[in-house]
Structure 1
Amino acid sequence: MMLNYDYPLYRPPSEARSLIFQVTLGCSFNECSFCDMYRSKEYSERPWDEVKLEIDMMAKQLPDTQRIFLADGDALNLDTEYMVKVVKYIKEKFQNLERISCYAMPMNILKKTPEELKRMHDAGLTMFYLGIESGSDVILKKVTKGAIAKTIIKAVNKAKDVGYTMSCMVILGLGGSKYSKEHIRGTAEVISACSPNYVGALTLYLENGIKDEFLTKFGEEFVPVSDEQALDELEDLISQIDVKDEVVFRANHGSNAYTIKGTFPQDKQDMLDKISWMKKHPEVIRPKGLRGF
């Protein structure tokens, strides 16, 4: 017997082989204009009896599970006591775990005290996935992110100080052609100021269900970047990121026209050299029919 998930169900690409427990349903914020992942759901927190039953069931079926992801999009919104209870019980039932992770909004990290974050980390929750999206406050407001650059930096550093592994996402093309330079400059500044352990670059992909809302909230004409402009953004982003700590960088998401990866700071020049090569070889582009957000 498998889990009876409340769909749609999402998880980061790196959690593809993870066991997923839905401790919350939907997203308590649910206002980001570029994201329609949870628009069909009303946010709720699942009761302990249901969560415990599922943990017990899967511990019997998949006792050697190594990674667990807590869904939906807002698990960190849970009360700290409840989260600690869930994580401790998971650790008790699965003896071979490498990590437990969840999505985290900047506002939810900032609402927790350092002591609360440490309690959850000590219990076994060790990794957060956080969307930076952009480092431009103008763009963050236009896409109703619910955060500004300063609070994103503060949230990432606050979690890192406690010991969390931080995996952050940015979105190429989020500001359109008009704000492209500002978008990349601000995004590079945010990454440089907080050095997430991992950074993934996606490309804006507006599905029909969210496109009208995005364009309306943007507040002015939005001209999407071309594939060539997206590659320019990627080049400028890599060029402007300045970190001393290692940051694993990936731009291999299915939404991207071009794929590149490396680790800052040591692979920075290699990545820039590869982009220069790709500009001379447009045949390596991923066909549009094979892309998706």
Structure 2
Amino acid sequence: IKDQALVAADIRYAAAQFPFLKRVFLADGDALILPQPRLMEILGMIREHLPWVQRVGLYGNAKSILRKSPEQLEELRRTGLGIVYLGLESGDPEVLRRIAKGVSAERMIAAGRRVREAGIKLSVTVLLGIAGRADGPRHARATGEVLSAMDPNYVGALTLMLLPNTPLAEDYQAGRFELPDQAELLGELREMLQHTQLSQGLFLANHASNYLPLKVRMPTGKDQALALIDQALGGRVALKPEWLRAL
């Protein structure tokens, strides 16, 4: 963890160099794991030196979120924390076990709800293709159900891209893991969206890794988005070429 003096210097530098900055992100790992007094001090420095900033965001996993009491999260919100980014990846228990997520779907739901109940915006990331070919539909349904229970402000769907020298890439090379093809990934996206019920917010699949960019205003735009996926599955909508995809 970076020394607090360096954080303070970064904030003062930002104040001098970026006077029109509207958003700040506390990088690069799980900043919510910081002790409450230290995190409050950082937010206080941002408020003092960058008074024009409208929103502060950070990553938070289920463990770090649930270590904060509801009162502590509300205190962070009052001091400027506006959004927490939570990586769900999958709502399927078996997939979570295989990827060594280290937390259950139920704990993920509890963490997401705690953020929302504190009045902080919640953005949840999910991963198409992470279950492999055989379990993709089950993963998609379970993930949609967990998202519905969380009811986040934003959902970001990314598509799995294998990196060399990682355990999953080695499993793929050895034939132990099968990557879904384009049609199967679109089917996952459709199944996940179909099973996601949000009171409001955005379901986004516009990351560079995705074959079909989507920006769905929930719940009103859901049917139109499902129809677009069906058109893509039928070959009537062009998909992003492989060379344009990226992490």
* 1:41-190 alignment, distance < 5 Å: 45-190=1-146
Return the alpha-carbon distance in structure 2 between the equivalents of residues 213 and 172 of structure 1: 14
Q: Secondary structure at the match of 1:223?
A: coil
8 Å CA contact retained: 1:63, 1:95: no
1:287 and 2:241 correspond: yes
Structure 1, residues 88-114: CA drift from partner, whole Å, max 9, x if none?
A: 111111121110001111111011111
Cα deviation digits, residues 144-171 of structure 1 (max 9, x gap): 1121110111000001000110011100
Unpaired stretches in structure 1, ≥5 consecutive residues: 1-44
* 1:116 to partner: Cα distance: 1.4
Describe the superposition over 1:223-278 as per-residue Cα deviations: whole angstroms up to 9, x where unpaired.
Answer: 110011000111111111123x1030111111111112211211111001111121
Q: What SS does the corresponding residue of 2:85 show, helix, strand or coil?
A: strand
| Residues in 2 aligned to 1:237 and 1:64: alpha-carbon distance in whole angstroms | 38
Cα deviation, residue 214, structure 1: 5.7
Partner of 1:221: 176
Q: Tell me, yes or no, if the aligned pair for 1:170 and 1:200 is still in contact at 8 Å.
A: yes
* Cα distance in structure 2, aligned partners of 1:60 and 1:228: 50
Which one-letter code corresponds to 2:48 in the other structure?
E
Q: Are the counterparts in 2 of residues 199 and 249 from structure 1 also a CA contact under 8 Å? A: yes
Q: Structure 1 residues 282 and 292 mapped into 2: Cα distance closer, same or farther (>3 Å)?
A: farther
Deviations 1:49-70 (A, max 9, x none): 1111121122112122111000
Return closer, same or farther for 1:223/1:261 CA change in 2, 3 Å cut-off.
same
Cα offset, 1:281, TM superposition: 2.8
Distance in structure 2 (CA, Å) of the matches to 1:58 and 1:242: 39
Check whether the contact 1:202–1:253 (CA below 8 A) recurs between aligned residues: yes
Uncovered stretches (5+) of structure 2, i.e. residues with no partner? none
How far off is 1:283 after superposition?
6.0
Alpha-carbon separation, structure 1, partners of 2:13 and 2:214:
40
Once residues 97 and 86 of structure 1 are traced to their aligned partners in structure 2, the CA distance between those partners, rounded to angstroms, is 13
* SS of the residue 1:192 aligns to: helix
TM-score, normalisation: structure 1? 0.80
Separation (CA, whole Å) in 1 of partners of 2:83 and 2:46: 15
Q: Measured at CA, do residues 246 and 232 of structure 1 come closer, stay the same or move farther in structure 2, by a change above 3 Å?
A: same
The alignment of Structure 1 onto Structure 2 pairs a total of residues equal to 246
Give the Å deviation of 1:216: 5.2
Indicate yes or no: 2:217 matched with 1:263: yes
- Describe the SS at the equivalent of 2:109: helix
Name the CA shift for 1:240/1:283 in 2 (closer, same or farther; >3 Å).
Answer: closer
Asked whether the 8 Å contact 1:143–1:214 carries over to 2, the reply is no
TM-score in terms of structure 2 length: 0.95
